[in-house]
């Protein structure tokens, strides 16, 4: 009988080579173990867990219309949108193309902002009242919270955009109104000068865009204001 080859005796003063060290759990996982791990990871995932859920979640991200080119969704009433815009135009009375554009930006941003509470309510209702078991799987409260967080970010972005456009509009209008007041004051002074001299005068003679009636009305208001100021000074 052939003697077995004796195993080498390790030298206690010499470290064992890496290739000779025992490796713990060196066996690769079995297919069943991998499947169990994948299922556990899927249960911990916060994303959609079915193909239908992924598709539906993707559609949800697209149909809110908060970043679309058109401010009005197909499900919204165009007449209500036109009334909404008219209210902003009536309030700010834009006098230039730039002011008109800014009023439109403000109105469109406000329209989108007003949509968000309805979207949030619809998301919560969908998660709380699924029509069937498959719908509950495709869209649960975790999916709802993710969409609500997304809507919250859109709300903050739109709020900043609304405030920025509105402040720009107010600054431009304030500057324009101050220029108009200075020009009206100059025009009123020229009107009074020509009346005193008995000479005909039109605002366009000096490049003013106002009508003569506007200048006369301003001159009359200015005269009454000066008279009131003088009376107050004497009474004081």
For residues 140-156, average pLDDT: 90
For position 27, what pLDDT does the model report?
62
Length of the chain: 236
Question: Band of the pLDDT at 172, cuts 50, 70, 90?
Answer: very high
The answer to whether residues 200 and 194 touch, using CB atoms and an 8 Å cutoff, is yes
Q: Report the distance separating Cα 40 and Cα 141, nearest Å.
A: 19
pLDDT at 225 over 70: yes
For position 29, what pLDDT does the model report?
61
**How many other CB atoms are there within 10 angstroms of residue 72's CB atom?**
18
The answer to whether residues 92 and 43 touch, using CB atoms and an 8 Å cutoff, is no
Q: What is the pLDDT of residues 86-142, one digit of tens each?
A: 999 999 999 999 999 999 999 999 999 999 999 999 888 888 888 888 888 888 888
Output 204-213 pairs: Cβ under 8 A, ≥24 positions apart: 208/183, 210/183, 210/184
| Mean pLDDT, the chain, whole residue set | 80
For residues 75-92, average pLDDT: 96
For residues 162-177, average pLDDT: 97
SS3 35: helix
Cα 127 to chain centroid distance, Å, stands at 25
Question: Band of the pLDDT at 33, cuts 50, 70, 90?
Answer: low
pTM given for the model: 0.63
pLDDT at 16 over 90: no
């Amino acid at each position: 009988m052939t003697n077995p080859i004796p195993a080498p005796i390790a030298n206690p003063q010499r470290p064992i080579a890496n290739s000779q060290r025992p490796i713990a759990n060196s066996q690769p996982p079995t297919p069943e173990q991998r499947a169990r791990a994948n299922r556990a990871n899927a249960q911990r995932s916060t994303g959609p867990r079915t193909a239908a859920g992924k598709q539906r979640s993707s559609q949800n991200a697209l149909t809110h219309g908060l970043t679309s080119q058109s401010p009005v969704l197909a499900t919204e009433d165009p007449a209500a949108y036109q009334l909404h815009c008219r209210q902003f135009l009536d309030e700010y009375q834009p006098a230039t193309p730039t002011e008109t554009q800014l009023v439109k930006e403000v109105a469109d941003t406000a329209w989108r902002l007003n949509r968000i509470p309805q979207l949030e309510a619809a998301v919560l209702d969908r998660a709380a009242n699924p029509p069937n078991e498959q719908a509950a799987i495709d869209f649960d409260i975790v999916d709802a919270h993710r969409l609500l967080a997304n809507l919250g970010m859109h709300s903050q972005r739109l709020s900043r955009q609304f405030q920025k456009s509105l402040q720009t509009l107010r600054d431009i209008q304030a500057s324009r109104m101050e220029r108009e007041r200075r020009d009206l004051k100059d025009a009123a002074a020229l009107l009074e000068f020509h009346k005193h001299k008995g000479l005909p005068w039109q605002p366009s003679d000096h490049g003013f865009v106002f009508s003569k009636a506007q200048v006369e009305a301003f001159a009359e208001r200015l005269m009454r204001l000066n008279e009131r100021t003088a009376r107050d000074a004497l009474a004081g």
